[in-house]
Amino acid sequence: MTAPLPNQLNSADALVLYGESFASRLLLGTSRYPSPLVLENAVKAANPAMITVSLRRQGTSTTEAHSGFWELLKKMAVPVLPNTAGCHSPQEVITTAQMAREVFETNWIKLELIGDDYTLQPDTLRLVQTAETLIKDGFKVLPYCTEDLILCQRLVDAGCQAIMPWAAPIGTGQGPLNPFAMKLLRDRIKVPLIVDAGLGLPSHACTVMEWGFDAVLLNTAVALSEDPVAMAKAFAMATDAGRSAYLSGAMKPQTSAQASTPLVGTPFWHQS
C-alpha cells in the first residue's frame, strides 16, 4: 500500500463513519477551555472532523441553546457530535440523546453511560442494550467504552458502525495503558475505531494511529495545556503523521544491528 503525500492525505484517505466522509481524523471536545475565544482558535487550528458537546453540562432549554455558546458552535461551522456525558442510567442516556437531537438537529450521538464516578468507566453491563435502543430510534451511535474485545464486538453486533474505546481513564493523559488489548482490538474489530479518552501527548495520538486506529478524540489534553491553540495544531499534525506512517508500512524490528550505509570498496563476500 502506498501512502499519500502529506498534502494529499485528507482527500485521499477520508474517515468514513456511518457512510459519511470526514477529511480529518481528529475529533475535539469543547469543555474546560480558558475562554470561548481560545476554544474557537483551537478548533480553527485543529480543523477537526467533529466537535463534541455535552447537553447536560451546558444546559438543555431552547433559550440556552441559542445563547452565546451555541452561537459560537454555529459560527465555527464544524459538525457537532452531542454526547450523553454525566448520564448514569439508560433512561438518562435516551432522554438526553432525544433532547440533543431536537436541539442540534442531528442523529449523531456519542453514547456515554457512566458506571463508576471515580474512574468514569463506562457501565459495560448496560452499554450494549442502550446502544441498541438508540440505534433502533434512528441514532448514529458512537459508544464510549473500554478496550475490552468482547464488549466492542457486542456493540458491533448491536449495530454500532464505529466504536470509541478508551486508551486510559478520561482526563488522565496517561496514554495507552494496555497496548496488547488495543492492538488485539484493532486486529479483530473491523469497524472504525476512534480512541476516546486518556491521551495526553501528541505522541500518544501518533502511536495509536500507527497501530491502525482510525481517529482520536481529544479534550482535556488540549484544553488544559498552557497553549491550547498550539497544542490543538500539534495533535492534528501528530494524528496525520501516525496515519501516514500506518499506511506507509513500518519496517520489521530486527534482533541485530543492520548497516544502513553502502560498503564501498569491500568485497561482496564480506558484506553479508
Q: φ, ψ for residue 8 (rounded to 5)? A: -105, -5
CA separation for the pair 182, 64 (Å, rounded): 39
Residue 219 marked ligand-binding: yes
pLDDT for the residue 269: 61
pLDDT tens by residue, 16-25: 999 999 999 9
Indicate the pTM of the whole model. Answer: 0.86
Amino acid identity, residue 242? G
Specify the 3-state DSSP secondary structure of 74: helix
pLDDT for the residue 61: 40
Which percentage of the chain shows pLDDT scores above 90?
A: 70
Residue 198 marked ligand-binding: yes
Q: φ, ψ for residue 52 (rounded to 5)? A: -95, 150
Residue 197 marked ligand-binding: yes
Residues annotated as part of the active site: 110
**Domains of the chain listed by start with CATH number:** 15-247 (3.20.20.70)
Q: Counting beta carbons within 10 angstroms of the beta carbon of residue 107, is it exposed (0 to 12), middle (13 to 18) or buried (19 or more)?
A: middle
Residue 65 marked ligand-binding: no
Whether the CA torsion 144, 75, 236, 213 is positive or negative: it is positive
pLDDT for the residue 272: 57
Residue 212 marked ligand-binding: no
pLDDT tens by residue, 43-86: 999 999 999 998 765 544 433 444 677 788 888 889 999 999 98
